[in-house]
Structure 1
Amino acid sequence: MTGIAAKVQNSTELRKPLTALINQGCKPVGGIFRLDYDSAIVLTDDFKKHEAGGVPRGGFLLAVAGDSTEAGFILEDQEIILLRVRGTAPLPNESELIQTRLAVVRDAGASGVDFDDVTDVLTRNELQQSAFDCEVLGTFYTETDARDARVEYGADIDNVVVSARYQVFLPSTDVLSWLASYPAAADERDSLAIGKVRFAATRRKALIAGTDQADVRIDVSDFVGRKTAVFGMTRTGKSNTIKTLVTAVHRYASEHERSIGQLIFDPQGEYANVNRQDGTGLRLLGDDDSTVRIYKVEPDATDSREKTLRLNFYDREVLEAAWSLVSDATAQVNTNYAKSFRSADLTEPDRQDFSAHNRWGWSLVAFYGLLAKCGFTATRFTPLKIALPDDKADAFLKEHPTAITSAGRGKYTINSPAGALSLANWVGKRSADFPKWHDENSRFPDIFGVYEYTGVTSAIRTIRPFHGPESTGDVAELLWQDMVAGRLSIVDLSSGNELVAKVMSERIVTHLLNKAGERFREDADPLEMQIVVEEAHNLFERGGRDVADDPWVRLSKEAAKYKMGLIYATQEVTSVDKRILSNTSNWLVAHLNSDHETRELSHYYDFKVWAPSIIRAEDVGFVRMKAYSGKYIVPAQIAKFDHSMVNEARKAAGLGSISSAESDG
């Protein structure tokens, strides 16, 4: 081939996608001298590693067959084998090299001269040779040799050759970003730069080479309607990661004109409030309650975004919710009395069934009396009408003249929780006089039976912070309506203990699942929503209950068909039910300090490879990430959540920018 023809041919070859990729600043580091389907041994030397800017453990390498020309490196075939460095490997003549190195160190030390002074050039070159042990991750290829051919990826190689024509390159900053973001890099409109590539805690070489600036982009749709795990010890950046993801989904929904509700369970109040240090926070994604709602025990009446988290336990409209919270609060009390108490059913029967409805009324007497006994106050109380023989009522009124009032014909009205408590105590201690209300068909004795058991009453008192005498409506239903409207809703659980947070969050999730299930059965379009759980180890019970009784496992099993996503953060992989882990699509893993946790993590994808780094490196925001559409684990330094992220999301939603100074005010 003539020189001109060769140049034309080379110019054509260089425009092919994978050839162009290799020639985009990638640095040669050596060649393959042993290759099989799972691993490769790469021969290199100190000079090549230095020129390339260093090769970290876990780093990506690109192996290609081809020739170096004046115009660039020309690939024989449009395919690149992607390797990941696992460590070093011995050379075939390693024993001889060790002996030589030993002699050099001994002679230099004995004579007090530099190492180079006791070796010749050939020996020095030979001593600088080494090898990388690499894992074969897969192959980038094009199905045709056309210049516009689409790059595909296969998670293996489909042929093994022993030719020494495979040369190995270290990716440049741009190519490294493409590798770390594949396939999200193909469409920047749907992707988000979540951070920078980071292979090691020590970043000196990466800073010098500029590879610390390689973006990692994710496809935001990967995190919508799917399960996402964020693992890491306290203060390793879990909350920062969640804020970044929530903001990205909020922005994505605005840009694509999609309604995606997001619900955050906030155990520490971290998401509900603006961070005083940087003056930013998720609540700034909206200016009013049309976009953002924050549910608190003590809401700020001057801020429309803040709503009460409390229920009025005496409100007949939320009876089911109130009973659910009260009975669940006693779940840790396992006495027979407590079990009988929890078995009570306060569902209102048919009003035409007078006997059943009367028994139900007496169950409410016992229930509202119990609330009064446990210190639940009331500023308004819907009168409760019950049947009571006049002679018994007269006897009761002699002791409690204001507790009830006559409604005529053997009917009496209870006008306050205190009245319910007085009547329940009076009737409960006279079972012989009221056999119908103490038989097996009545729930009254099941509820009254715990009045004197402090284990039960103490448990119920723990949920008093969530009782609001002036509140109206069911928070769970309000949150469902928020999801229907595509709002960001934050439930601040910082005012209650762990049990209260668990009971409240489980009831809300159950309600959302039930409502989503109703839509599904009605063949209505599902609502897209995300549920975010911090400190998930306090809420999840690993293997503790059947699916039907565990809303979190139900969420992992049923939510895909409802398009409900789950982002959960915890420092304990082992605290998460395996059924949830098995249905998790996205993984972001920061520092964990226990091999007990990393062993559990190692059961999923190839996190086993990263276990030593996960235990050793404690840097904040340094994660190993496997996204749903991602083909392999990518180590990344997650970007710090900041005001610019908030303002970009606000801009997408048609809102003006806001400064941190304004947010402080």
Structure 2
Amino acid sequence: MTKNKGPLANEAAKYAEHLADQSGQDLTALISAQGNVGDLIKMDFSECELLIHDHLRQKVGGLALGCFLLATRLSPGAAAAPLDEDSNLLLLRVTGQARLPNASETDLNRFLAGQRVATQDAMWDAQGKIDQFTLNQLRYAGIRCRLLGTFRMKETKPSEWKLSFGADVSNFYSGRGLKVYKPFGAALAQIVNFQKTKGDDSHPLSGKRVPIGRVRYASSERLVDPAGDSVQVELDPTDLIARRTALFGMSRTGKSNTTKVIASSVFRLREQDKKKGLIGQLVFDVNGEYANENTQDGSEENAACLKNIVLHTANAAHSDVATYGLAPHPNDPARTIVKVNFFGGFVSKSSTADELSKALEPLLVGKMLIDGRIASDSSKYIANFRNTSLDIPVVLDQSSATRFQRALLAYRAALSAAGFAPPDAVKKALLKGLFSKELVQALEQSSSSDASMYVRAATIIKKETVSWDEAVELMKSLRRFIQDTKHSGYDHFNSDYASQHDGRSWHDERLTGILSIFEYANGVNALRASKDEHDPGSVGDYAQSVMDDLVAGKLVIFDQSLGDPDMNRAAAERIMWVIFNRQKQEFVAAKKDKDGNLIPPPDILVYAEEAHNLLPPNAATDVSNIWSRVAKEGSKYRIGLVYATQEPSSIQSNIMKNTDNWFVAHLNNADETKELRKYYDFDDFVPSILQVPDAGFLRMRTLSNPYIVPVQINRFLVKAK
């Protein structure tokens, strides 16, 4: 006997039951009698087969490859108890044709009917050419589907029900029928825009979805959409933050347009929140199409380049977009020129460690760029130069300062010999205090066949400052003097020096490593490839400037259209290391807010256009490179990566394996689609990806979307509609 809990408790129970019934109706609202296409006749845990009639197929506007279907025992609009086993909808995707058990008989009937009209103008299904019973039988067909998962209502809180999706099926019965429906209109929109439950680490603005295109099942779709298939598809911009995103497709298939659409959606998060919506974005613009107006964007004012998005975004100022480039642009007077003063600033023997660090920061950056350029040269004299560090000594006493200054002089002389113009601060080479009178005497007293060269070197040393041409001449003589130790007289000089300096030689590995570049003419010539990156008037390091802009939440467009591939790769890697190291520091030494909560690193999103030119190749085994580090560790450091390329097979596999978001357009090569088959269920779309070259027709799967959605991406417009 049930104990009476009182009128209030009974009313509460009735209300809770009402809410449960209402949730069941919300579930059945996803199907409609007009969308009925047939019956499910065979299934397992991953695939199923449907029996479809041509009449029903025509009534719903057709069943294109890749379209969504729903299978259920529920009736459209009926009430359903959400806890019942059958109160669910199975989400299916059409993947092809299934051969029915009577296929041999129907194939024969079609053949005979066609044979009868083969010499006539009539179709074999015309009135009077085939009996209606047989014709009706021939209109049944089998459809093969992927089983994507299960929709059901779940009670997230007491008496609060919410539509949920599980990416599998918990059970099935072979002897129970399921009706199949095609969703369209509002039901289809709810399915394609269904969002998984947010995690604890989700962005504060997660769930603020924005339209980026419409559902598109086929290239040959009708211009009129009577079935309601063409519904709006939305993107959660925060899915890209601190995540990896792949954008694949041939040239002219909409990769750049898609990049602009998603980058603009992230930029416009500031419209929702002035502070939380500030996401630093960096675009490596290989072709200059994001920083500059171009013919590809069209002539309309509203079809301009990504840089101009600031003109039509609330809570944004002109300074929120920063552009960088190798050369000035007439339409972009505020552009920062990304060159480095390879010589650095003025320093002397008496400079402190802090003064040296500040003055030589660009010089060290330049050395790193040069080392990257000559990294593949295995010549010993090149390798010695490349492996010689110019880092400031930890202990800066008189001896170490003098030795460091000599190596610095040799390096700058090498730059001058390679044609690098010195800045005004170091127009002359400073020799004062770097060479002893004993060395001068040793040079002057040499009896070798190169004695005249050494006497000339001694004459140069006696000056306090000399031209860089003289400095080059001196360095070549010193290298020869030290190398030809037995004949030049250096051996005797060095022995005397060592006896007075605790056994240390006059030269050190740093000096000889730098001087090795003068051994052959090709040594200095190897440095000339970096001249385009040098500007004697440049101040500071542009990589740090880029990082500061990103921390401020700006959209940074790095125009690399005038750089060669090696230069672009070196610059991108250097900037990425600066970003990675600074974000890592913010993570391990996190500050606290006024409430004592740890402040995470700022959100930064990087776009690598033509990624096959920047990222390591698939065959590369070194996973310590910056791009691999970002792919594997970037999430915890709040670094997101969007990489776009025509060649998925060119991307290092460990980067692909850590990718969360996918946008895939047309690829014309089976080797490239072979790579895609490894991920999620892109295998279902391979025929369409290979065959359909329509611009902007993509297959999209993002972090919050539990399945792939075929979508026609909107054309990017600076002024959002």
Q: What's the TM-score once normalised by structure 1's chain length? A: 0.87
Amino acid at match of 1:197: V
Q: 1:355 aligns with which of 388, 394, 399?
A: 399
| Identity of matched residues, % | 32
Instruction: Report the more deviating stretch, 14-23 or 590-599.
Output: 14-23
Larger Rg: 2
Distance 1:485-1:114 versus aligned 2 partners, 3 A rule: closer
CA distance in 1, matches of 2:329, 2:461: 38
CA distance in 2, matches of 1:121, 1:540: 63
Alignment match, 1:120: 131
Look up the SS of the partner of 1:643 in the other structure.
Answer: coil
Q: Is 1:215 equivalent to 2:232 in the alignment?
A: yes
Alignment match, 1:19: 28
Aligned residues: 625
Amino acid at match of 1:513: F
Alignment match, 1:663: none
Alignment match, 1:373: 417
Contact persistence 2:25–2:79 (CA under 8 A): no
CA distance in 2, matches of 1:556, 1:284: 30
Distance 1:333-1:157 versus aligned 2 partners, 3 A rule: same
Q: 1:619 aligns with which of 694, 704, 708?
A: 694
| 1:174-189 equivalences in 2 (<5 Å) | 174-183=186-195
Distance 1:600-1:403 versus aligned 2 partners, 3 A rule: farther
Q: Is 1:389 equivalent to 2:436 in the alignment?
A: yes
Instruction: Report the more deviating stretch, 458-467 or 257-266.
Output: 458-467
Q: Give ranges in structure 2 of 5+ residues lacking alignment.
A: 1-17, 199-204, 312-316, 345-359, 445-452, 495-503, 592-599
Alignment match, 2:594: none
Q: Is 1:82 equivalent to 2:101 in the alignment?
A: no
| 1:266-281 equivalences in 2 (<5 Å) | 266-276=285-295, 277-278=298-299, 279=301, 280-281=304-305
Distance 1:211-1:360 versus aligned 2 partners, 3 A rule: farther
Alignment match, 2:447: none
Q: 1:159 aligns with which of 154, 160, 171?
A: 171
Deviations along 1:149-184, whole A, 9 cap, x unmatched?
Answer: 200000111111234541111111332222222117
Look up the SS of the partner of 2:118 in the other structure.
Answer: helix
CA distance in 1, matches of 2:98, 2:608: 43
CA distance in 1, matches of 2:261, 2:506: 58
Deviations along 1:306-339, whole A, 9 cap, x unmatched?
Answer: 1111111111231221110011110121222222
CA distance in 2, matches of 1:124, 1:179: 35
CA distance in 2, matches of 1:404, 1:236: 64
Contact persistence 2:252–2:695 (CA under 8 A): yes
Alignment match, 1:3: none
Q: Is 1:581 equivalent to 2:628 in the alignment?
A: no
Alignment match, 2:151: 140
Alignment match, 1:305: 334
Alignment match, 1:261: 280
CA distance in 2, matches of 1:405, 1:347: 28
Alignment match, 1:54: 62
Amino acid at match of 1:475: Y
CA distance in 1, matches of 2:251, 2:120: 53
| TM superposition shift of 1:355 | 3.1
| TM superposition shift of 1:462 | 2.3
Contact persistence 2:253–2:694 (CA under 8 A): yes
Instruction: Report the more deviating stretch, 302-311 or 454-463.
Output: 454-463
Deviations along 1:489-530, whole A, 9 cap, x unmatched?
Answer: 111112221001111111111111111122222123311111
Contact persistence 1:427–1:434 (CA under 8 A): no
Distance 1:578-1:93 versus aligned 2 partners, 3 A rule: same
Distance 1:438-1:50 versus aligned 2 partners, 3 A rule: farther
Alignment match, 2:357: none
Amino acid at match of 1:264: V
Contact persistence 2:239–2:702 (CA under 8 A): yes
Alignment match, 1:655: none
Look up the SS of the partner of 1:299 in the other structure.
Answer: coil
Distance 1:475-1:301 versus aligned 2 partners, 3 A rule: farther
Look up the SS of the partner of 1:29 in the other structure.
Answer: strand
Amino acid at match of 2:341: N
Q: 1:426 aligns with which of 477, 480, 500?
A: 477
Deviations along 1:61-113, whole A, 9 cap, x unmatched?
Answer: 11111346xxx566674311000111111111111111111111112225664
Contact persistence 1:381–1:417 (CA under 8 A): no
Look up the SS of the partner of 1:450 in the other structure.
Answer: helix
| TM superposition shift of 1:454 | 5.8
Look up the SS of the partner of 2:213 in the other structure.
Answer: strand
Alignment match, 1:248: 265
CA distance in 2, matches of 1:175, 1:130: 25
Alignment match, 1:344: 388
Contact persistence 2:117–2:123 (CA under 8 A): yes
Distance 1:12-1:520 versus aligned 2 partners, 3 A rule: closer
Distance 1:302-1:605 versus aligned 2 partners, 3 A rule: closer
CA distance in 1, matches of 2:574, 2:294: 29
Alignment match, 1:103: 112
Look up the SS of the partner of 2:576 in the other structure.
Answer: helix
Alignment match, 1:662: none
| TM superposition shift of 1:471 | 0.8
Q: Is 1:481 equivalent to 2:548 in the alignment?
A: yes
Alignment match, 1:652: none
Instruction: Report the more deviating stretch, 435-444 or 131-140.
Output: 435-444
Q: Is 1:286 equivalent to 2:310 in the alignment?
A: yes
Deviations along 1:393-430, whole A, 9 cap, x unmatched?
Answer: 69689858997775xxxxx446x544432332232222
